[in-house]
Every structure is written in structure tokens, then in C-alpha cells.
Amino acid sequence: MKKFEMPKNNYFDTLETLDCGQVFRFDKTENGYYVLSENKRCEIVDNGDCFQFDCEDENFFKNYFDFQSDYAKIWGNIVDKGYYSTDNDFGSGIRILRQNPIETIFSFVISQNNHIPRIKSIIESICKSLGDDYGSYFSFPNLEKLKQSEDFYKNLGAGYRANFLSDLAKNISYADIDKMSKMGTDELRKKLMEFKGIGRKVADCILLFGFHKTDVFPVDTWIYKIFKDEYPNTPPDKMSKLLVEKYGDHSGFVQQYLFYQKRSEKLRGNTRNRNEKR
């Protein structure tokens, strides 16, 4: 098994990156976390001085974790514009992953109106039944394999999303993905939303996580709660547009940062409540 290491700084953290809602194929291991992408696996171990990445394809995962981008500079620009405070660097270890577009599209159609444990379980079932066996894990299946009936996806527990998934596999091609990769944000969003099951929010997640378009601000329930007082009587789609007008190319980073902060706040709250009961 090949390994590479990244020195510790404030601009990468495994849990912050994996647990902020952008990826679903990951879990804890004995010493750290593993993440799966396409047909590859990477385990990330915190060994004190640095993070150690165990994987067969170093270049793939350096790109996957967006290590070619300078996050010190990105967060610096965001601080300069007053969108981010250095008082609390909680969340500054988030990186916007560069995920496979097909995998991202299917994952986020499954994610709609759903919660993370079930999203993970549905995606894992798809990989187990259609992907290739790599011993300790299964690959994300290719489009040919994904062409299955609505009933197939129903039986995996996809619920009413089953027909979206079945339709998607039939109607999208790798040629479409090539074309999409060359489009700008607005044109690509429009194209994505032509598929059944992809509305504005899911499209924005795909734009950000599957195509690395950072001028999008996915408004989910957490983001909505954060901004509902600042933007009263504003539906999520409209709120998203206003937020992009404000944050521009930094939107995706600010969105992930605020999402993580809001959820951490909730988790800290739960811990406190548990302690109070004792």
C-alpha cells in the first residue's frame, strides 16, 4: 500500500472535510477514516505531526482532496471580505472535494428529502449490488450497470426516488458529462435541472461537489435557518441567488463553513443536554 503525507496546518482536517455533507462513502476505521471514490479507497490517519494518506493512487486522491488549491489564500480572501472570522477556525479544515460527476449526481438525487445514515445505506447497497468487488469494498458502478428498473431501486430502499434514479441512468451519458464539464455555472445548472429529481438545491450540490463550481450556495435546511431572519419571507431558491450575489466565487466555501459551524453548534448542544441529565 502506497502512502503519502501532508503536514498538519489549519487547512486540512479529515472529519471536517468528510462530515460536512458533501460526501457519503466514508466511515471511521481503527486509526482514522476511510473514504471511497469511484473504484478507489483512501484511509486517512492522524499520526500527530501530519496526516497520512494510505491509497494506491496518490495523484487521484491529491486531486480529490483539492490539494492543488491554496486554502490559506482562499480563506484569506474570505477573511479580507469579512465573510469569515479568525476568532474561530472551526471548519477551516474543510476542503471542497473534487468528486466524480456521475457519482455525485446519483448521490445527491438520493440525498433529497433524506437523512445521512439512510443516504449512506442506499449508496452502499447500490455499490454492493452493482459495483465491482475490491475485497474490502465495492466500486461505484458505471452507467451501464446503473441502468436498472424503478423496482430495482425501490428494493434497495430508495423510496420515491427510485424512478428518478432509473430514469437518470437511462437518460444521461458520459458524452453529456463531457459537455457539462465545459459549461459555465448557469448553463450547467439549467442542464442538470432538466433531469427529473434534480431541483435547484440538488443541482447546486452537484455543481459544487461534482464540478467544483464555487459560485453556488446550496440552501438546505441548515443554511435556511441561518439566514431566514436576514432574508425574511424568502424561499430557498431566491435566498440562494441573493447569497451568491453577496459571496460570489467564495459562495461554496462560505456555505460549507457555515453549514459545518451550524451543525457543530447543534452537536455541542446535544452533548451539553446529555451532561445536564446526569
Contacting range for DNA; rule: CB under 7 A; set: 51-59, 81-89, 110-118, 140-148: 110-118
Q: Determine how many CB atoms are found less than 10 A away from the CB of residue 44.
A: 25
| Site for DNA, residues 142 to 161, rule: CB under 7 A | 157, 159-160
Nearest to 109 by CA among 57, 134, 74, 146: 146
Binds DNA by CB under 7 A, chosen from 40, 95, 200, 250: 200
CA 3 to chain centre: 24
Pairing type for strands 40-46 and 32-37 reads antiparallel
- CA–CA distances in Å: residue 137 to residues 25, 140, 153, 163, 199: 10, 10, 20, 26, 31
Report the residue from 94, 102, 180, 203 that binds DNA according to the rule CB under 7 A. 203
Q: How many residues bind DNA (CB under 7 A)?
A: 27
Nearest to 214 by CA among 257, 253, 259: 253
- If one asks whether residue 201 binds DNA (CB under 7 A), the answer comes out as yes
Could you tell me the smallest distance in angstroms from the CB atom of residue 68 to DNA? Answer: 29
Stretch of residues binding DNA (CB under 7 A), selected from 70-78, 138-146, 179-187, 199-207: 199-207
**Closest separation between CB of residue 102 and DNA, Å?**
18
Contact 45, 54 (CB under 8 A): yes
Instruction: Give the dihedral sign, CA 2/51/125/197.
Output: negative
Q: Does 113 bind DNA (CB under 7 A)?
A: yes
Q: Answer whether 13's CB lies under 8 Å from 27's CB.
A: no
Binding flag, residue 134, DNA (CB under 7 A): no
- Which residues have CB under 8 Å from 256's CB, separation 6+? 20, 21, 22, 91, 94, 96
Q: For residues 7 and 117, which CB has a smaller minimum distance to DNA in the complex?
A: 117
- Among positions 112, 129, 142, 234, the unique one binding DNA when judged by CB under 7 A: 112
- Selected binder of DNA within 198, 207, 216, 258 (CB under 7 A): 198
Task: State the DSSP H helix or E strand holding residue 36, giving kind and residue range, or none if neither.
Answer: strand 32-37
* CA 53 – CA 210 distance, rounded (Å): 22
* 210 sits near DNA (criterion: CB under 7 A): no
Task: Tell me the window of 44-52, 113-121, 208-216, 251-259 that interacts with DNA (CB under 7 A).
Answer: 113-121
Q: Is 114 in the site for DNA (CB under 7 A)?
A: yes
Q: What is the CB neighbour count within 10 angstroms for residue 28?
A: 10
Exactly one of 169, 172, 202, 239 binds DNA (CB under 7 A); that residue is 202
User: How far is C-alpha 80 from the geometric centre of its chain's CA atoms?
Assistant: 26
Asked if 76 touches DNA (CB under 7 A), the answer is no
85 part of the interface to DNA, by CB under 7 A:
no
Candidates 67-75, 86-94, 135-143, 194-202; binding stretch for DNA (CB under 7 A): 194-202
272 binds DNA (CB under 7 A): no
Q: Does 189 bind DNA (CB under 7 A)?
A: no
What is the rounded distance in angstroms from the CA atom of residue 1 to the CA atom of residue 153? Answer: 35
Q: How far apart are CA 81 and CA 260, in angstroms?
A: 20
Which residues are near DNA by CB under 7 A? 111-118, 157, 159-160, 164, 193, 195-203, 220-221, 236, 266, 270
